Amino acid sequence: MAELLFDKEFLKKLENMAFLLKKARAGRYSGLHRSTRKGQSVEFADYRAYVAGDDFRQVDWNAYARLDKLFIKLFMEENDLSIHLLLDTSASMAWEGSLKYQLAKQLVGALGYLALVNMEQVGVIALKQGTSRVLPLQRGRNAISRLWGFLSQLEAGGETDLNISLRQTGKYIKSPGIAILLSDMLSPSGYQEGLKYLQHLGQQVVVLHILAPEERDPQLLGNFRLVDCETGLEKEVSITPILLKAYKDHLEAFISSSKQFCLSREITYHLVGSDDGLEDILLRSLRGAEVLV
C-alpha cells in the first residue's frame, strides 16, 4: 500500500476542499456541496473545514472562538449524494514504466478520502473485462482504511472494453451523483456509449484521461517487435521519423476527439500526465477544471 501513503500535510490541504457540482444534486448532508435543493436538517452529523462559498449561517462560531478556525456544521438531510470512482484496471494502465496505474490509484485514494471527510458517500468500481471488483458505497472517516485497503489489493491486467464495463456499472450505481472515470481511454470499441450510459444513470460524469509521456512523445527509431500488452499480439515494425510523426498526429487527434466528445455531452474532461504531481493535479488542475473547489 506504499503508493497510498499520503503526506499528512497533503491530507490537511485536501480537507479544505470539496467537490464542485455544476448541476444541482440532492444530498444527505447539508453544507457539503453546491446544490439548489435544501433538505430538512434533522440531525447533527459532523464538522468540516470552511471553504469559500459556504453558507456562513452553518459556521460553528463557538469552535471559531476556541480554535480561531472556521468549521461548517454538517446536518443529515433526506437524500443521498453518491460519488463513484471508476478505475480502469486494464493491462495498458500498468504498462511497464508508465506509472499510469500508480497515479490513478493515488487519485482514487485521495478523491475517496476527500469525499469521506466531507461526509459524502463514495464507492469504487474496478473496471475489468468480464467481472469488476467493487467497493460498495461508504461514508465517514471510519471507511478511509477500507477504501485504501481495497485499492491496495487491486492489480491491473488483461483487457477492458470501456463500453461494456461502463454499462455493467448499472448494477451498482443506483442514484444520481458523480461518476469519475480514471482511464487511458484505450478501448477496442471506444468509450462513447459507456459515457452516455453513465449520464443515463443520472451521473455528472468526469473523465480523467491519463497518459504517459512515453505515449505522447515516444523516443523510438529503428526496428522493433511491438507487443500488445493486453492481447499479446506482436508486430514487427520499422519506426522512421515519418511513421513517428504519423503516430503522434494520430494520438493528438484521439485526444482532441475525446475532449470534443466530452464537451458536446457536458462531461468534464481533463488530460493528466502520469508524470504530473499528485498535489498539482488535485489542488490546482482539478480546481481549474471545476471538479473541486
| CA dist list (Å): 171 to 42, 85, 166 | 31, 15, 10
Q: Collect all residues with Cβ–Cβ distance below 8 Å to 135 and sequence separation of at least 6.
A: 123, 124, 125, 146, 147, 150
Confidence of residue 26 (pLDDT cuts 50, 70, 90): very low
Confidence of residue 52 (pLDDT cuts 50, 70, 90): low
Are 210 and 270 in contact by the 8 Å Cβ rule? The answer is no
What is the structure's pLDDT at 223? Answer: 79
Give the phi and the psi of residue 74 in degrees, each rounded to 5: -105, 135
Confidence of residue 57 (pLDDT cuts 50, 70, 90): confident
Q: Mean pLDDT of all residues in the chain?
A: 83
Nearest to 79 by CA among 206, 177, 149, 185: 177
Q: Point out which residues pair with 234 in neighbouring strands.
A: 227
First-residue to last-residue Cα distance in the chain = 28
> Among residues of the chain, what percentage have pLDDT more than 90?
47
Number of H helices and E strands in the chain, helices first, is 10, 11
**Average confidence (pLDDT) over 42-71:** 72
Pick the more confident residue, 30 or 90.
90
Query: What cell numbers appear for 65 in the block?
Result: 472562538
What is the structure's pLDDT at 250? Answer: 95
Each residue's pLDDT tens digit, 100-128? 999 999 999 999 999 999 888 999 999 98
Each residue's pLDDT tens digit, 128-174? 876 679 999 999 999 999 999 999 999 988 888 999 999 999 999 98
CA 241/CA 261 separation, integer angstroms: 30
Each residue's pLDDT tens digit, 234-275? 788 888 888 889 989 999 999 999 999 999 999 999 999 999
Map residue 40 onto helix, strand or coil.
coil
Give CB contacts under 8 A, 24+ apart, made by 228-232.
Answer: 229/91, 229/92, 229/95, 229/96, 230/90, 230/91, 230/92, 230/158, 230/159, 230/160, 231/159
Are 240 and 246 in contact by the 8 Å Cβ rule? The answer is no
Please give the single-letter amino acid code of residue 255: I
What is the structure's pLDDT at 28? Answer: 41
Q: Judge whether residue 78 has pLDDT over 50.
A: no
Domains identified in the chain and CATH numbers = 80-288 (3.40.50.410)
Confidence of residue 290 (pLDDT cuts 50, 70, 90): confident
Pick the more confident residue, 34 or 1.
1
> What's the whole-model pTM score?
0.80
Confidence of residue 233 (pLDDT cuts 50, 70, 90): confident
What is the structure's pLDDT at 33? Answer: 46
Query: What cell numbers appear for 220 in the block?
Result: 523510438
Q: Collect all residues with Cβ–Cβ distance below 8 Å to 131 and sequence separation of at least 6.
A: none
Which one-letter DSSP state was computed for residue 284? I
**Average confidence (pLDDT) over 178-205:** 94
What is the structure's pLDDT at 254? Answer: 96
Confidence of residue 60 (pLDDT cuts 50, 70, 90): confident
